[in-house]
Amino acid sequence: MSWWEFWKAKGEKADFVASFLEQAKTPIPGIRAIDQLNFTVLDTETTGLNPSEDFILSFGAIKISRMTIQVSTAVEWYPVSPKNGKDTAAIHGLMESKTPHEFSEFVPNLLSYLGDSILVGHHLGFDLEMLLKTCKKFGLEEFPNSCVDTMNLAIRLEQGPNADRKQFKLEEYSLDSLCDRYGIAKDDRHTAAGDAFLTAQLLLKLLVVAKKKGIKDFASLNKSW
C-alpha pair distances (Å), 159 with each of 154, 164, 197: 8, 8, 25
Give the chain's domains with CATH numbers.
Answer: 3-223 (3.30.420.10)
Measure CA of the first residue to CA of the last residue in the chain; give whole Å: 42
pLDDT above 90 (res 180): yes
Q: Look over the chain and give the mean of its residue pLDDT values, rounded to a whole number.
A: 89
- Per cent of the chain over pLDDT 90 is 76
**How high is the pLDDT of residue 90?**
42
Q: Where are the beta strands (DSSP E) in the chain?
A: 38-46, 56-65, 68-77, 118-121, 147-149
For residue 12, the model assigns a pLDDT of: 85
Residue 91 has a pLDDT of 44
Model confidence pLDDT, tens digit, residues 104-154: 999 999 999 999 999 999 999 999 999 999 999 999 999 999 999 999 999
At 40 the three-state DSSP class reads strand
The predicted structure's pLDDT at residue 188 = 77
pLDDT recorded at residue 84: 59
- The residue with greater pLDDT, 109 or 101, is 109
Does the pTM surpass 0.85? The reply is: yes
SS in 3 state form for 59-123? EEEEEEECCEEEEEEEEEECECCCCCCCCCHHHHCCCCCCCCECHHHHHHHHHHHHCCCEEEECC
Give the model's pLDDT for residue 158. 96
21-67 tens-digit pLDDT: 999 889 999 999 999 999 999 999 998 889 888 999 999 999 999 99
For a pLDDT cut of 70, what percent of the chain falls above it? 87
Rounded distance between C-alpha atoms, residue 170 and residue 91, angstroms: 20
pLDDT at 82: 74
